[in-house]
Copies of this chain bind each other. A is one copy, B any other.
Amino acid sequence: MLGRVEPIDDIAELMAGIGRKARAAAQPLSIASPEQKMIALIAMADAVDRRAAEILEANRQDMADGEKAGMAASLLDRLKLDTGRIAAISESIRTIAALKDPVGDIIAEWDRPNGLHIERVRTPLGVIGVIYESRPNVTADAGALCLKSGNAVILRGGSDSAHSSRAIHAALAEGLEAADLPADAIQLIPVTDRAAVGEMLKGLDGNLDVIIPRGGKSLVARVQAEARVPVFAHLEGLCHVYVDASADLDMARRIIVNAKMRRTGVCGSAETLLLDRLIAPARLLPLLEDLHAAGCEIRGDASVVQLFVAAKPATEEDWSTEYLDAIISVKLVDGIGDAIAHINRYSSHHTEAVIAEDVHVVERFFNEIDSAILLHNASTQFADGGEFGMGAEIGIATGKMHARGPVGVEQLTSFKYRVRGNGQTRP
């Protein structure tokens, strides 16, 4: 059935049924015990390991199809599984299994003068839809994170990785069965039509509570524009590093190279470097030389081009470009105020770092910039749920509602109030 174009009516019907089954599974899942969910997750990890050969064989089919279709090498690399990557998948599920169960966690509690005791406790969101592209490991990560947080999930993987996702999903299903949890808790849509995405965006008759798109900008933009349900979206990571005159410049060198070059294709990679004009040119140069030596193209404003012969001139467009590549835009600014103004104008509100020893500079940076993650004297590449200690993430949200920054199990929950009284009536 995979990849075959079905008549639209069938897709609508198929998706409506998937929505109803997810909603039905969400209720028992919301009251499943932490132990039951942990048993399921460990059984899933074991099943992934046990089924490794089968998953690799499925992946070989996807790879062969991709090569035949002329898929780009970078996409083929994202798609490819090997024994090491499969071990990483089962390890990630075990990490999620070991996390604290968020459901029922008391976030806050207080007493009222009339004797009422109020608790705010975490609850699952309900049914989560995840729309992703070629990475097969998302099937496992999203399935495991949603289960841990007590949510039913509808997975819509890309057609490129359809066989791999199906093989991984079979392992997840085995885990659900081992723990006596409903099979519909984790559903993988069995067709890869775009119409299925359209149905999800319409909300499956109220049976979908939130959509998480994981993929390129065009997918995310389509989901944001068309979805009739809330979206946890990661649009782009146009991350800045500002080096203040008070900075430890040896530290700045190490952080800048790491922030830009550790991995250039991730959302936490730095795209623009802002340098305090008060730093002496002789001390600035090494910062740029390090980047250049590491293979990074430098696009600078007029001052930078004058200072560093290998720099190309930056255009206005450079300040709002997420390169996701070994390119960085560099600008000299007049101190922290000017840096903040530049960031507030061009940032995608994802992640920004300040390198400074002056605490007043750091406090202004922390207070006056409204981005999800602000770092002091550390690399922007720490923008990651695992690095934050959340165990794993389903993505990084760039919106400000509900979830912001890394989306882990806590961010996949809502809350309710439990109020205990002894006969109180309201005057």
A123: contacting residue among B258, B370, B373, B414, CB under 8 A? B370
A378: contacting residue among B251, B381, B416, B423, CB under 8 A? B423
- A375 and B125 alpha carbons, distance in the complex (Å): 20
- A251 and B210 alpha carbons, distance in the complex (Å): 41
In the complex, whether A116 has a CB less than 8 A from a CB of chain B is yes
Segment at the interface with B among A38-46, A88-96, A315-323, A398-406: A398-406
Q: Which residues of B sit under 8 angstroms from A405, Cβ to Cβ?
A: 416-417
- Interface on A for B, CB 8 Å cutoff? 27, 30-31, 104, 110, 112, 116, 118, 123, 125-126, 209-210, 230, 248, 251, 254-255, 257-259, 262, 344, 366-368, 370-379, 381-382, 387-389, 400-402, 404-405, 414-426
Nearest CB in chain B: distance from A337 CB, A? 12
The answer to whether B116 touches A378 (Cβ under 8 A) is yes
A404: contacting residue among B118, B378, B416, CB under 8 A? B416
Nearest CB in chain B: distance from A253 CB, A? 10
A110: contacting residue among B110, B123, B254, B389, CB under 8 A? B389
- A230 and B378 alpha carbons, distance in the complex (Å): 33
Interface centre among A110, A414, A416 (most CB of B within 10 A): A416
Q: Which residues of B sit under 8 angstroms from A370, Cβ to Cβ?
A: 30, 123, 126, 416
Q: How many copies does the complex hold?
A: 2
In this complex, what residue of B is CB-closest to A363? B418
The answer to whether B262 touches A425 (Cβ under 8 A) is yes
Q: Which residues of B sit under 8 angstroms from A27, Cβ to Cβ?
A: 344
Give 25 pairs: A residue, B residue, CB < 8 Å, sorted on A: A30-B370, A31-B367, A112-B387, A118-B388, A126-B400, A230-B401, A254-B425, A255-B424, A257-B425, A262-B426, A370-B416, A372-B416, A375-B421, A377-B420, A377-B421, A377-B424, A378-B422, A378-B424, A379-B426, A382-B426, A388-B417, A402-B402, A404-B414, A405-B416, A405-B417
Known: A254-B425, A402-B402. 15 other contacts (CB 8 A): A112-B389, A123-B400, A209-B401, A262-B425, A373-B417, A374-B416, A374-B417, A374-B419, A376-B418, A378-B424, A379-B425, A379-B426, A400-B414, A405-B416, A405-B417
The answer to whether B112 touches A419 (Cβ under 8 A) is no
Q: Which residues of B sit under 8 angstroms from A425, Cβ to Cβ?
A: 254-255, 257-259, 262, 378-379, 381
- A209 and B401 alpha carbons, distance in the complex (Å): 9
- A377 and B382 alpha carbons, distance in the complex (Å): 48
The answer to whether A424 touches B382 (Cβ under 8 A) is yes
The answer to whether B230 touches A118 (Cβ under 8 A) is no
